[in-house]
Amino acid sequence: MSASWWLWPLVAICAADSFREQAERIMQDTPVIDGHNDLPWQMLSLFNNQLRDERANLTTLADTHTNIPKLEAGFVGGQFWSVYVPCDTQNKDAVKRTLEQMDVVHRMCQLYPETFLCVTSSAGIRQAFRERKVASLIGVEGGHSIDSSLGVLRALYHLGMRYLTLTHSCNTPWADNWLVDRGDDQAESQGLSLFGQHVVKEMNRLGVMIDLAHVSVATMKAALQLSKAPVIFSHSSAYSLCRHRRNVPDDVLQMVKDTGSLVMVNFYTEYVSCSARASLSQVADHLDYIKKVAGPGAVGLGGDYDGVSSLPVGLEDVSKYPDLIAELLRRNWTEAEVRGALADNLLRVFEAVEQASDHSKSPEEEPIPLDQLDGSCRTSYGYSEAPSLHRKPGALLAFLTPLLLSLCSL
Ligand SMILES: *[C@@H]1O[C@H](CO)[C@@H](O)[C@H](O)[C@H]1NC(C)=O
Ligand SMILES: *[C@@H]1O[C@H](CO)[C@@H](O)[C@H](O)[C@H]1NC(C)=O
Ligand SMILES: [Zn+2]
């Protein structure tokens, strides 16, 4: 036995520390880009979106997973803020509420310019890195937010949407959600309907990333096959390690590999361990597994902070990312692999999506068939079934115009 056996525990402790130090050194110039954070939803539910309420101050906000000091401690350099509106807004005020949550993200950037830089491109993310700010981007969580309208899809793009999750936990008229795979919802589109295919093509044309978190396996496969650019899972883990239908099965991970796509691992305990308790090490198992099956280029982080009720021990809030990175280094991930999971893989996918976009190509115009729309709140202007299509609005305008002109001359 070696004479210096008594040194071993010390060596172990120093090694542990050095992994954490190495993680921090790497994260100085490659901070985390996280795929999914629900802070905007917290702003709505806690403060009805009144960001200047003292209690909403993001420097001192205490009861959330996310605040400004925690983001700094966690080396977060990029965040796709989730613009989430629940499924019960579908066919009601989904679009209005989506616009309001996008406005919240813009106001966060305005109110805390030292911390957040709202950007809409991979170049913008790199700029924020240089300025040591949190590149802030918008991911819209749920296809119901576009209310089956390509015009709304394009308008949201113009307002900064850079990914759209094709469904939340409900079907849209054009794509099926994961509850179908659990038998709790009926399959309606068998993946993507014809209109759903138009949505995916239009997202490709615009340069909006296709997010397959929350969708059914058939929808995952249909989108992976159809998309001209790589796709993301903004907050999903590995099905083989925890058999929850929100996670990504192996045959889909193979398609992720073949298409250069990305799985950003979710930290929610129910998706990590299929129970209310989980550990940091189990999250690292998911990262290891996806790396093994789909390659190191397919791994990312999408913590789902402020969108979930239970998180693993050791990953309680956004300040903890360096501990997870230290664990990957302990597991012999190379520096390049770690940088990939932190930011480089997302940047690669985002750049490929930008390169595949083509704003000189004609926009998709064909509307969804009227009979595929539900809900009594909707008018049907433009569809041939619509009553008095050509006359009424024109007549109203003819009536109003002299009135408006006379008001203008006042
Ligand atoms: C938040 O609180 C900090 C520290 O108390 C203060 O400096 C800052 O002005 C506040 N910001 C906003 C937007 O209220
Ligand atoms: C990491 O690599 C070292 C040195 O090659 C080896 O001894 C160790 O078992 C590896 N650890 C893991 C978790 O693979
Ligand atoms: Zn979600």
Would you state the structure tokens that stand for residue 338, as one six-digit string?
A: 């770690």
Question: Long-range contact list for 98-103, CB < 8 A, 24+ apart?
Answer: 98/140, 98/145, 98/156, 99/159, 100/44, 100/49, 101/40, 101/41, 101/44, 102/138, 102/140, 102/156, 102/159, 102/160, 102/161, 103/49
The yes-or-no answer on residue 141 being catalytic is yes
Residue type present at position 57: N
What's the pLDDT at 389? Answer: 44
Q: Tell me if residue 270 is catalytic.
A: no
What spacing in Å lies between the alpha carbon of 403 and ligand 3's midpoint? 49
For the chain (length 410 residues), average pLDDT per consecutive 10?
58 73 98 98 98 98 97 98 98 98 98 98 98 99 98 98 98 98 97 98 98 98 98 98 98 98 98 98 99 98 98 98 98 98 99 98 97 90 68 50 51
pLDDT of residue 410: 46
**Of ligand 1's atoms, which has the minimum distance to the CA of residue 54?**
14
Does the C-beta of 114 come closer than 6 Å to ligand 1?
Answer: no
Q: What is the pLDDT of residue 384?
A: 81
Asked whether 106 lines ligand 2 (CB < 6 A), one says no
Q: What is the pLDDT of residue 15?
A: 65
CATH of 18-378, one of 3.30.470.20, 1.10.240.10, 3.40.640.10, 3.20.20.140: 3.20.20.140
Angle at 251 between CA 249 and CA 255, to 5 degrees: 110
13 exposure class (CB count in 10 Å sphere: 0-12, 13-18, 19+) = exposed
What is the rounded distance in angstroms from the CA atom of residue 147 to the CA atom of residue 2?
70
